């Protein structure tokens, strides 16, 4: 009986959804499931291709989200757009003048980025090329005409949809399709540094760290070390260091009171190159590894005379508290939210959460710039 009542109650909602879907089909009637002939005036493929159709469908599903939420609210229910929940992600685009170093950063929403086809290549290679730093003509106020530009993921979707661009113009300006096969793998590595807070741009541009990064004796062919020449970003690190740059202005102010310690400064991967975190290691090996990490943490805290340990994330806080208590080191242990793109709350505004938490802990005043310094810093930017 209850199921029947629920079906009856949901009928208006389903009718409304069906009506919206019907309007969508009517409005986009030109998109046909049947193959269309190419235009006689050009060699371009017809507009009704799979990518354009998918983009239109996803876009209109998002457009329908607002009226469906209203209907759901009237019925005492809730509605979440499946496109926004599963497919939408954000990328950070950074443009930096090659003459003066002035940088402009903006974030954009994406649904299905388009990758240039690499004949005989893999999707992993195409994604790396997509994120690779490129030069572009841009007139800067300093008189420079060339800037470097690159894009990096700041959030990750539950499902990543990629378009492989198979069409290109020939020397005679004819549109030609490339039929080369594409290498598909079960795993796709989106970020390349894979080291917590190992954000290359911040390390070079703000921390002013230089030098050569060596190679391990058995380097994985899919995870080659490029050191400071790496052009891809590590999302957590970008959020972490950009926040403290805004807060402190200069790195000297940050390091006057703070020291960033990586509990486990090692990276592990399986045969395919997929990242393995310590919890994924065999229990025996993991405990031996973390025991050494705990000892190192305690030695660092004692050597620096630390008064408060702030774990970035609850796991770091719990591990630090357990290790320091066992070693008899008396120190206050707290935490702030982890900036990982896997954390939904961090994707909604990690900087605000971090600032609020540091204020609660009473340390924000040690890091914040004065109003005059902050104004001068913004003018320099």
| Domain ranges across the chain | 1-86, 89-190
Q: Which residues have a Cβ under 8 Å from the Cβ of 145 and sit 6 or more positions away?
A: 137, 138, 139
Most confident of 110-114, 172-176, 331-335, 370-374: 331-335
Residue 379: per-residue pLDDT? 52
Using only C-alpha atoms, what is the Rg of the chain?
A: 26
pLDDT in tens, 25-79: 444 444 444 444 444 444 444 434 777 888 888 989 999 999 999 999 999 998 9
Q: Is 129 exposed, middle or buried (0-12, 13-18, 19+ CB in 10 A)?
A: middle
Residue 240: per-residue pLDDT? 92
Residue 211: per-residue pLDDT? 77
* Backbone torsions φ then ψ of 26, nearest 5 degrees: -65, -40
**Band of residue 264 on the pLDDT scale cut at 50, 70, 90:** confident
- Identify the CATH number of the domain defined by range 89-190: 2.20.210.10
Residue 37: per-residue pLDDT? 44
Beta bridge partners of 180: none
Q: Which residues have a Cβ under 8 Å from the Cβ of 211 and sit 6 or more positions away?
A: 228
Residue 189: per-residue pLDDT? 64
Please state the pTM of the whole predicted model: 0.54
Residue 21 to residues 18, 49, 222, 297, 381, Cα–Cα distance (Å): 5, 20, 44, 58, 48
- Calculated CA dihedral for residues 215, 219, 221, 226, nearest 10 degrees: -20
Residue 275: per-residue pLDDT? 75
pLDDT in tens, 161-194: 888 888 878 888 888 888 888 888 766 766 544 3
Residue 35: per-residue pLDDT? 43
Percent of the chain with pLDDT over 70: 81
CA 319 to CA 326: how far, in whole Å? 11
CA 192 to CA 234: how far, in whole Å? 7
Q: Does 205 score more than 90 pLDDT?
A: no
Q: Does 360 score more than 90 pLDDT?
A: yes
């Amino acid at each position: 009986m209850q199921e029947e009542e629920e079906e009856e109650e949901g009928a208006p909602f389903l009718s409304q959804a069906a009506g919206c879907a019907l309007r969508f089909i009517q409005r986009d009637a030109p998109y046909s499931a049947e193959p269309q002939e190419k235009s006689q005036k050009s060699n371009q493929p017809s507009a009704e291709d799979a990518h354009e159709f998918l983009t239109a469908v996803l876009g209109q599903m998002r457009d329908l989200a607002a009226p469906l939420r209203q209907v759901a609210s009237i019925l005492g229910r809730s509605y979440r757009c499946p496109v926004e929940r599963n497919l939408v992600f954000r990328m950070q685009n950074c443009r930096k003048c090659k003459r003066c170093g002035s940088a402009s950063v903006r974030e954009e929403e994406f649904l299905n980025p388009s990758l240039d086809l690499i004949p005989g290549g893999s999707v992993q290679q195409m994604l790396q090329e997509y994120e690779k730093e490129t030069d572009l003509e841009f007139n800067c106020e300093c008189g420079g005409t060339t800037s470097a530009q690159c894009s990096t993921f700041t959030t990750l979707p539950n499902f990543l949809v990629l378009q492989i661009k198979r069409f290109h113009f020939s020397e005679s300006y004819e549109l030609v399709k490339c039929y080369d096969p594409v290498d598909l793998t079960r795993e796709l590595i989106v970020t390349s540094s894979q080291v917590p807070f190992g954000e290359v741009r911040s390390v070079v541009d703000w921390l002013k760290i230089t030098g050569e990064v060596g190679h391990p004796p058995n380097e994985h062919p899919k995870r080659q070390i490029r050191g400071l020449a790496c052009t891809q970003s590590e999302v957590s690190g970008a959020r972490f260091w950009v926040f403290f740059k805004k807060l402190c202005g200069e790195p000297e102010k940050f390091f006057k009171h703070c020291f960033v310690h990586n509990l486990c400064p090692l990276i592990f991967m399986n045969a395919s190159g997929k990242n393995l975190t310590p919890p994924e290691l065999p229990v025996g090996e993991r405990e031996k590894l973390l025991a050494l990490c705990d000892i190192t943490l305690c030695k660092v805290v004692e050597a620096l005379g630390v008064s408060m340990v702030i774990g970035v994330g609850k796991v770091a806080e719990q591990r630090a508290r357990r290790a320091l208590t066992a070693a008899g080191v008396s120190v206050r242990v707290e935490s702030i939210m982890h900036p990982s793109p896997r954390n939904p709350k961090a994707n909604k505004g990690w900087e605000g959460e971090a600032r609020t938490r540091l204020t609660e802990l009473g340390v924000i005043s040690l890091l914040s710039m004065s109003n005059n310094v902050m104004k001068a810093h913004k003018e320099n930017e």
